[in-house]
Amino acid sequence: MNGVHDMGGMDGFGRVEVEANEPPFHHSWEGRVMAMSRAIGANGGVNIDAQRFSRESLPPPVYLASSYYKKWFLALQQLMIGRGMIGADEVAAGRALRTSPPLQRGTFSLKDVARVTVRGSFHRDVSTSPAFKPGDKVRAKNINPVTHTRLPRYVRGHVGTVERINGSHVFPDSAAHGNGENPQWLYTVVFSGRELWGADADPTLKVSVEAFEPYLDPA
């Protein structure tokens, strides 16, 4: 979706402000939100792509004005209500009002912790061969789905060069919407700064994105 989350190339947000000796969390609730998101993601079938889409789908003023973990909280709660895993009435009451079917993988418990503190593999075998090879010129498609996609706006329609083939991975555009993992070849595609930003761009700039094969046409 063309949301405010797709920030590459936007102006006006000001300088980068660095906090010295920043702690992992600024409030204890932030850690709880992070942990709940990971836990429900790991055992509940609410995959990372669905969680990302839920965050992107927050209204733009909310997205821009909320702290990072507040966005995670709002998105997780909304997603779980949307899937019927919890009720809006339960959120209002602050407690469970009824029983619910267990998560696909059961209660997230201590035995599951190691599984979420190391990244899993997103690699999935496919029967096809990659359509592109390093050195090939490709054009990022001009697509504007209202659903989840990982092709940022700032490269759409632009020509780049395939640099690496990174294997075949779960396709977020499908997985975010319960349409299966639908694995696709994944490439690193490099664009020159001038291709993306015009003649005034820094001539030494090159930008790469990680692009799934359905995002690309031969150029």
Backbone angles phi, psi at 12, to 5 degrees: 100, 0
The verdict on 40 binding another protein (CB under 8 A) reads yes
116 scored as a contact of another protein (CB under 8 A): yes
**Within 10 Å of residue 150's Cβ, how many Cβ atoms?**
17
Number of residues counted as binding another protein (CB under 8 A): 94
Residue 6 vs 136, nearer CB to another protein: 6
Smaller CB separation from another protein, 110 or 146: 110
Binders of another protein in range 178-207 (CB under 8 A): 186, 188, 190, 193, 196-197, 201-202, 204-207
Rounded Cα gap, residues 42 and 105, in angstroms:
8
CB of 11 to another protein, least distance (A): 7
Residue the block writes with tokens 């102006």: 11
Q: For residues 57 and 4, is the Cβ–Cβ distance under 8 A?
A: no
Question: Are 188 and 167 spatial neighbours (Cβ–Cβ below 8 Å)?
Answer: no
Q: 50 to 109, contacts with another protein by CB under 8 A?
A: 52, 55-56, 64, 68, 70, 73, 76-77, 85-86, 90-91, 94-96, 99-100, 102-103, 107-109
24 binds another protein (CB under 8 A): yes
Choose, by CB under 8 A, the member of 50, 58, 138, 170 that binds another protein. 170
Does the footprint of another protein cover residue 41 (CB under 8 A)? no
- Matching residue, tokens 């998560």: 103
Rounded Cα–Cα distance for residues 134 and 165 (Å): 7
Amino acid identity at 45: G
